Amino acid sequence: MSLPSVSADVHATAAGNRRPDLPRLPAPGKAGRAARRLAVPCAVLVVWQVVVSAGVVHSASLPSPAAVIQAWWAWIFGPVTPLAWYSGTWGPHVLMSLRRVMIGFAIATVAGVGLGVLIGWYAVIEDLFDGTINFLRSVPMTAWVPFAVFFFGIHESAAVFLIAFGSFFPIVVNASSGARQTPRILIRAARMLGTEPRKLLVRVVLPAALPAIFTGLRVGMGLAWVLVIVAEMLAVQGGLGYALWSAYQFSRLDLILAAIVSVGTLGLLSDRLLSAIARRVTRWQTGLTGL
């Protein structure tokens, strides 16, 4: 008589991925999840506005959200004039930063995923490259800025180099870890089904490493947006980092905050895009979440 109850508990646990004897919260709909995700940002904005309006913090030290939005609006939609860099120039700065991030991240992805999977699967490749990679990734990326400026000059390639070089390390480390942890049972099953040894890397190891690879890509994308700001502040002209530094030189804290929010928003959208691609590519994982 106990078997049906045990079976029911197992199926309930697999379906809900939690113990059946614990109370369950009702699953929120899409609107409920969206409201939860917006709750903390909205609360921060309200507290920020109240603190500034009440005079707890002077507006010269911290502009109110309304002031930041007003400056941001002029930066996006204002008339473009040679004497006002902060009017109507947001779009071109965003496009410059986005182009640099995409080029650098694409280079890092191709190099990091390819080399990382080889390092994780072939011991000879690991012996050749693992020590060098771990040595280089221990050096702070800001230390490479003078080298990039000296080698490439104040040029687009300096920013692309810094973004690609910095994003490469989390991608290669996660890709190698994912390939190294490929379940041996998958290898044996593939061999029993007739897969040739030379095809195991593409047919078994690479798919098994995809979750770790996408984790590295997400970390690398976040780092790419950090590095584009560093590069544009110090190594190239134009872009959100350049605008942020210009705002600092003109003591425009409202535009500094607008630039920070712009970078954060672009980074969030990039991460959401990668997450959506990862869910689609690794949709076979959804059958294992309840096990």
Residue 216 in contact with residue 169, Cβ under 8 Å? no
Q: At what angle do helices 145-152 and 156-180 cross, to 10 degrees?
A: 130
Residue 1 has pLDDT above 60, yes or no: no
Residue 110 in contact with residue 116, Cβ under 8 Å? no
Residue 123 has pLDDT above 50, yes or no: yes
DSSP-assigned letter for residue 80: P
For residue range 229-250, what is the model confidence (pLDDT) as tens digits?
Answer: 999 998 888 899 999 999 999 8
For residue range 126-171, what is the model confidence (pLDDT) as tens digits?
Answer: 999 999 999 999 999 889 999 998 898 888 899 999 999 999 999 9
Ramachandran sector of residue 11 (left: φ over 0; alpha: ψ -120 to 50; beta: rest): alpha
Q: Which of 143, 142, 162 is nearest to 152 (CA)?
A: 162
Residue 217 in contact with residue 281, Cβ under 8 Å? no
- Residue 68's pLDDT is what? 92
- Looking at 3.40.190.10, 2.30.30.60, 1.10.3720.10, 1.10.10.10, the CATH number of the domain 76-288 comes to 1.10.3720.10
Enumerate the domain spans of the chain: 29-62, 76-288
Look up residue 281 and give its two tokens: 């590519």
Look up residue 173 and give its two tokens: 């480390």
CA atoms of 159 and 145, how far apart (whole Å):
9
- Residue 195's pLDDT is what? 75
Residues whose CB falls within 8 Å of the CB of residue 1, separated by 6 or more in sequence, listed in order: none
What does 18-65 look like in DSSP terms, one character per residue?
S-TTS--PPPP-HHHHHHHHHHHHHHHHHHHHHHHHTTSS-TTTS--H
Residue 172 in contact with residue 116, Cβ under 8 Å? yes
The identity of residue 110, as a single letter, is: V
Residue keyed to tokens 């096990």: 291
What does 74-102 look like in DSSP terms, one character per residue?
HHHHSPPBTTBTTSS-HHHHHHHHHHHHH
